[in-house]
Structure 1
Amino acid sequence: MNHDIDIKKLRINCFRQSKVPGEFMLQMRVPGSMIEAKYLQVVQDIANKWGNGTFHIGMRQTLNMPGIKYENIEEVNKYIRGYIHDIEIEMCDVDMEDTDAGYPTIGARNIMSCIGNSHCIKANANTYKLARKIEKIVFPSHYHIKVAVSGCPNDCGKGHFNDFGIMGVAKMEYHPERCIGCGACVKACEHHATRVLSLNKDGKVDKDTCCCVGCGECTIACPTSAWTRKETKFYRVTLGGRTGKQFPRMGKLFLNWITEDALLQVFGNWHKFSAWVMDNKPEYIHGGHLIDISGYAKFKEIILDGVELNPECLVAEELYWTESEQRANIHLKPIEQHKKAGPQN
């Protein structure tokens, strides 16, 4: 009977409840949002054999098959054993059991990413490779965390609305001997970035280093390679972003110019931080709320414990969020009332 179904247990198993009693949607993880096209056959097989013939690309870049009957879930879990093995154990080197039971948890949500520098000329980082490294650290775990990786500060991966938003940034090197003073980099920075470049009286480029976001627009625009990216890869990290009905907010800058090695050490402390906040009793509470419960100072103390930050890395001293007060709706009026009020002087 439908009332005997353990909805919470199935959610942990990555099956989401449907509006139709007794039907569920499987969410298959795609860490870093890139897999071989051959796995689309798995999607098709599940959708046609056990689902309703459709699939949905989830908002966290999962592959979702709706319309799966409760009585078929065990069979579906057996079928996806090979996919989970290939993606989680082989591709991401995740430490988890290889069983017929399906996904062990929905805790650490699917790590999203844009396509990164495997394709995009704007990107400073290989996003899906980094996402897979983070996957190995945070999954499986019953403590919830949402992570998105973008290849550059354009943040196409929408990291600003995740617990952790990661953007690839680069330190630029200027080679004045190659510069012809065309001003292409200055125009690119003015139009697309933070306007930190200017031409001096000698026809060379000056840079205000305080506000450079490391986007790399200057390197793309320069016709003579007078600007190049330094070899070391860096990242900027935003913290505490989220969507939701009650308190949606955009994340704040937490770390800037952090190297990959240091960044992975930070994620290595996430389980310890979550366990401290929740007294080792994980519940379905997302990471941003755990940070709110602990306060930024305590979060920073635990999450950076033992982390060997590179000399260039900058850490936010304090973070302050302004919550979106949904009760502000009381200030909204029907359009008829606005018309009656007339123009305001």
Structure 2
Amino acid sequence: MEQIDYKKLKDNCFMRQADKELFSLRLRIAGGKIEAQHLKKVYELAEIYGKGYVHLTSRQSIEIPFIKFEDLEMVKSEMQEAGLRPGFCGARVRTITACQGCTVCQSGLIDSADLAQEFDRLYCGKDVPHKFKIGITGCHNNCLKAEENDLGIKGAVKPVWIQEKCTYCGICQEKCRHSAIRVDRDNKTLTYDEASCVNCGKCVKACPCQSWEGKAGFKVYVGGLFGNDIQTGRQAVPLVYSRENLNKIIQAVMEYFREHGKKGERLGKTLNRIGWDGLFQKLDGILKK
């Protein structure tokens, strides 16, 4: 009887099911985006080798369950021919999740979808001490829940008030959910409490006379967990405005994790064990260069 290397199969994202002779294939779908032609091939594979359905995972991937062991090589061959890629399991950077961002969503502040494709090329599958999840959410609505990821990115804006353009209509105050803006229409005054501002950008988007301006940037969170243990990630640095610096931060976080993390230990657990200040100081030094 042929000896089955289950670890090798799992490394290629053929995961053993409850029935150990059947496997579920997890595909690599960066940012939840899949081409229509690839979706058609997924349908064909599920029809021919599975049970005619797919499972949409919580991290925007697609799984095809109920594949027989004897069909795995054929499925793998057809996947490669069609340009489909397997996802990632084990102690690696997992498939990137993202919302559709500013090119589709009217609330979006950053191009989450494009970032997901970039990060997919740069980081997916990289070896780390334990699984490492990256999520990108385009605005403060936080659909991808940045703080739940090992490294989460959230679109943000630092607003700037242009007094000479303001009509004191009060719309910005109505849109601000954190009471950072107060408008006195009668006396034509406006106060902005920067400490209360969460950089959601709603004032900038809502202003009918462009008296609020702001440059879109990125909030970066690290150390989030949402599984057997739940931990909210912490904002690692002030707002970052360039992709170059954003990538420097991601690379530094991953290097720090490789240096200090233990096998089977998530980043958040590593930071709890050794302290968070070392990483924050490292990241601060990178931005000051």
Tell me whether the two structures share a fold, i.e. TM-score over 0.5.
Answer: yes
Task: Give the C-alpha shift of residue 221 in structure 1.
Answer: 2.3
Q: Which residue of 2 aligns with 1:122?
A: 107
Q: More deviation in 62-71 or 75-84?
A: 75-84
Q: Which residue of 2 aligns with 1:252?
A: 234
What is the aligned-residue RMSD (CA, Å)?
2.5
> Mind listing any 5+ residue stretches in structure 2 that lack a counterpart?
none
Q: Secondary structure at the match of 1:165?
A: strand
2:182 matched to 1:198? yes
2:266 matched to 1:286? yes
Q: Which residue of 2 aligns with 1:307?
A: 286
- CA distance in 2 between partners of 1:115 and 1:103 (Å): 20
2:223 matched to 1:240? yes
Task: Give the C-alpha shift of residue 286 in structure 1.
Answer: 3.4
- CA distance in 2 between partners of 1:11 and 1:289 (Å): 25
The number of residue pairs the alignment matches comes to 284
- CA distance in 2 between partners of 1:157 and 1:309 (Å): 29
Check the 8 A contact 2:237/2:284 in 1, yes or no. no
Q: Which residue of 2 aligns with 1:296?
A: 276
Check the 8 A contact 1:176/1:204 in 2, yes or no. no
- CA distance in 2 between partners of 1:138 and 1:167 (Å): 18
- CA distance in 1 between partners of 2:111 and 2:81 (Å): 26
> Mind listing any 5+ residue stretches in structure 1 that lack a counterpart?
88-101, 311-345
Letter aligned with residue 74 of structure 2 = E
Q: Which residue of 1 aligns with 2:245?
A: 262
Over 3 Å counting, the alpha-carbon distance change for 1:16 and 1:118 in structure 2 is same
2:147 matched to 1:160? yes
Deviations 1:265-305, CA, capped at 9 Å, x for gaps: 112234432332358xxx55433334344432343456x39
Q: Which residue of 1 aligns with 2:170?
A: 183
Deviations 1:312-331, CA, capped at 9 Å, x for gaps: xxxxxxxxxxxxxxxxxxxx
Q: More deviation in 40-49 or 137-146?
A: 137-146
Q: Which residue of 1 aligns with 2:75?
A: 76
Q: Secondary structure at the match of 2:188?
A: coil
Letter aligned with residue 307 of structure 1 = I
- CA distance in 2 between partners of 1:79 and 1:277 (Å): 40
Letter aligned with residue 164 of structure 2 = E
Letter aligned with residue 268 of structure 2 = G
- CA distance in 2 between partners of 1:184 and 1:44 (Å): 48
Deviations 1:67-94, CA, capped at 9 Å, x for gaps: 1112222222222224557x7xxxxxxx
Check the 8 A contact 2:182/2:190 in 1, yes or no. yes
Check the 8 A contact 1:29/1:110 in 2, yes or no. yes
Over 3 Å counting, the alpha-carbon distance change for 1:188 and 1:278 in structure 2 is closer
Over 3 Å counting, the alpha-carbon distance change for 1:301 and 1:77 in structure 2 is farther
Q: Secondary structure at the match of 1:167?
A: strand
Check the 8 A contact 1:16/1:24 in 2, yes or no. yes
- CA distance in 2 between partners of 1:110 and 1:103 (Å): 6
Check the 8 A contact 1:238/1:252 in 2, yes or no. yes
Q: Secondary structure at the match of 2:238?
A: strand
- CA distance in 1 between partners of 2:13 and 2:252 (Å): 24
Q: Secondary structure at the match of 1:194?
A: coil
Task: Give the C-alpha shift of residue 7 in structure 1.
Answer: 2.6
Task: Give the C-alpha shift of residue 166 in structure 1.
Answer: 0.8
Q: Which residue of 2 aligns with 1:59?
A: 58
Task: Give the C-alpha shift of residue 14 in structure 1.
Answer: 1.3
- CA distance in 2 between partners of 1:74 and 1:284 (Å): 30
Over 3 Å counting, the alpha-carbon distance change for 1:30 and 1:275 in structure 2 is same
- CA distance in 1 between partners of 2:79 and 2:281 (Å): 40
How does the TM-score come out when normalised to structure 1?
A: 0.74
The one of 193, 208, 213 aligned to 1:228: 213
Q: Secondary structure at the match of 1:25?
A: strand
Q: More deviation in 144-153 or 195-204?
A: 195-204
Letter aligned with residue 227 of structure 2 = G
State the percentage of identical aligned residues. 27
Letter aligned with residue 39 of structure 2 = L
2:199 matched to 1:214? yes
- CA distance in 1 between partners of 2:35 and 2:240 (Å): 30
Structure number with greater Rg is: 1
The one of 114, 121, 133 aligned to 1:146: 133
Q: Secondary structure at the match of 2:135?
A: strand
- CA distance in 1 between partners of 2:88 and 2:162 (Å): 52
